[in-house]
Amino acid sequence: MRNIKLVLLIFFSGLVLATGWLYIAWMSLEQTALSSDFYRGLIRETNIGYVAHPELQNYLSAMLLNRMPDRIGGALLEEFDNDLEENAEEEEVDEETRQIWTNLIHSAVIQSYNSAWIENQVFAIVDENLPYIKGEQDSISGEIDLREIKASIKSRIIHELGTLPAESLRALNIPIISTDLENFWGGTIQDFNVQIEPGIAEILADEILAQMDLPDEIRLDTFVAEADLPPQTDQAISAMNQVWELFQYWPYILLSLLLLITLLLAEPSAGLKWFGISTLIFSLTALLCLQVILYTITTLLLLMNNVVIAGASISPALVADIAAYTISRTMNVPLTGLVIGLVMLVGGMVIGLVSKVILKNKQL
């Protein structure tokens, strides 16, 4: 009978180890990828913002520029020059003109996406949609407010038009005035200062925004529906929802049942010590694995000149900082397990000593 109890205790201790490792892995995921605080801390504790912001600026700018028609600028000035209207209908804008417009608009757009606005939008999206990934809400929600961006684009286009050299203004057929009239007659365009006629820059900026056809806000559910995501995306999110619901309860229920079974198979003192030792083992091995993972990543990064993630080149030092921060966020779970294991182990030892003293007193 004693041997059977020992075998059962070893078997259930193995279940405790397996459950503990799975629980630590899941809680590590909750403390990192499924936590909005993790992303805020990642920006605060590392230099990832210096890499992410330019990449997001370029992506968002390209998304807006793709909304422009192929014949950019072709109909912008038809009310100022009747000849342009005919040209816009019959011919595409020449490559030089198109390039000037593209560079001007790209400069205005990319400067409008400042880092503070990008961070606020990203954090708002994360905060509103982590509950969807966790299965706590039925659909994606939230909006990206573009009104501030549209106003910024307009003001920057007006500014960029005001800084264009005379040659570019002439190439675009934009009406100009001279600010150096005594040199106008008999001179070349380089001989006098010119600027765009008052009011035209604002009209052009409004027309460019009209061609972009930007809404005041983008609803995320509509954006995702139009993004043509792979069908596996919904399946992955659905699976994540099910796993999240499962891990919210069953590790605690299973560990409680295993503790109860251990206490029934052995006396309270021995049962607490068995369970405490099992908890210490899965907590210590988890801590060791995390340290090995961090050491391995750091060692491999020393052999690399740069790391490419999602098309962005990142320095190995930054990747090491990200890994160290991520690992540090997961340490709390196994450390908590160590404390619980020690308390149970010490509690079992104390109960054993008390039981022996009581038994000895009864014998006396």
What does the pLDDT look like over 149-205, one tens digit per residue?
899 999 998 888 888 887 787 777 776 665 544 444 444 444 445 667 768 888 888
Residues 98-109 pLDDT 10s = 788 888 888 888
Burial 67-76 (b: 16+ CB within 10 A, else e): ebeeebbbbb
Q: What does the domain layout of the chain look like in residue ranges?
A: 2-38+235-363, 68-213
Question: What's the confidence (pLDDT) of residue 68?
Answer: 65
Task: Tell me what the mean pLDDT of segment 259-287 comes to.
Answer: 92
Residue 87 has pLDDT above 50, yes or no: no
Residues 88-97 pLDDT 10s = 444 445 677 7
Residues 218-250 pLDDT 10s = 888 877 766 666 767 777 777 877 777 788 888
